[in-house]
Amino acid sequence: MPRTNLKAEIRSLARASGAFAMLAVDQREGLRAMMAEKQNGPVTDRQMSDFKMAALRALTPYASAALLDREFAWDRAIAEGAVAPGCALIAAADGGGWAIKFPATETKTHTALNMPFPDNLVNALSTYLRTYRPVLLGLRGPLKPGHRDEPAGLALWVTRCGTQMTAGAMQKLLIRHTRARFGHTINPHLFRDCAATSLADDNPEHVRIAADLLGHKTFVTTATFYIAASQRRAMHRHQEVVMQRRRPGKR
């Protein structure tokens, strides 16, 4: 591979003074959600792209570089010459993927969490954001007496009253749907137990990653699931040995 001058490439993203003035227009579904709050009905891909082109034309004359997503901005910006001369282009390298991020202030262990969103759920989430969330934002239903009406704002999940869904409401929905689907309820905490125990059962040599999966600071808390899984494996093995040693026809 040809060698490149990294310092020269970095300098190409800066102003003549050496300062950086970077414009980020690589937002996707988060931007769609904000735009949806200002209109009735879903925000189309074309509206997303039009907004980005307008932002590039208005702001790149004052920027040293612009960060663009490939989905809505890159090709069109180049084809239409939407970026001002002298403003460098940077392509977002996340492939359009999603991430789940919780700041330290929102977690039990006060440790920030950042993990990729499952690819097989992206389509479902995109459909919700594009089609259903805008409709829910426009609804105004009756609230329970004493219920505090919290505007949806940038909250991901919205109630049928157009307000942001509380943790208690999410738990009730989860319990209702798991009971209907599986015949018994699974609350959010039990989902965490299932994830860690399944990992300990199916992939015990990598069980320590369960601490990161659950947001535990150390493996000490997670070890409970590993011990439970080991006990089940030992019990199953013991039962197999007993069944093998039984004489035919005997119970």
Q: How far is CA 148 from CA 73, 153, 158, 164, 211, in A?
A: 40, 15, 14, 10, 36
pLDDT at 3: 47
Q: What does the alpha-carbon distance between residue 202 and residue 50 come to, in Å, rounded to a whole number?
A: 48
pLDDT at 149: 62
pLDDT at 233: 65
The neighbour count for residue 208, using CB atoms within 10 Å, is 14
Backbone angle region of 178, left / alpha / beta, with phi > 0 → left and psi within -120 to 50 → alpha? alpha
Tokens 């702001």 correspond to 59
Over residues 28-69, the pLDDT tens digits come to: 878 888 888 888 878 888 999 999 999 999 999 988 888 888
Q: What does the alpha-carbon distance between residue 132 and residue 145 come to, in Å, rounded to a whole number?
A: 26
CB 28 within 8 A of CB 34: no
pLDDT at 179: 93
pLDDT at 2: 47
Q: What does the alpha-carbon distance between residue 97 and residue 70 come to, in Å, rounded to a whole number?
A: 12
pLDDT at 184: 87
Residue ranges in the chain modelled with pLDDT below 50: 1-3
By DSSP bridging, strand 113-116 and strand 99-102 are: antiparallel
pLDDT at 59: 93
Over residues 76-97, the pLDDT tens digits come to: 999 999 999 888 888 876 655 6
What is the per-residue burial (b if ≥16 Cβ within 10 Å, else e) of 168-191? eeeeeebbeebeeeeeeebeeeee
* DSSP bridge pairs for 89: 66
The neighbour count for residue 142, using CB atoms within 10 Å, is 7
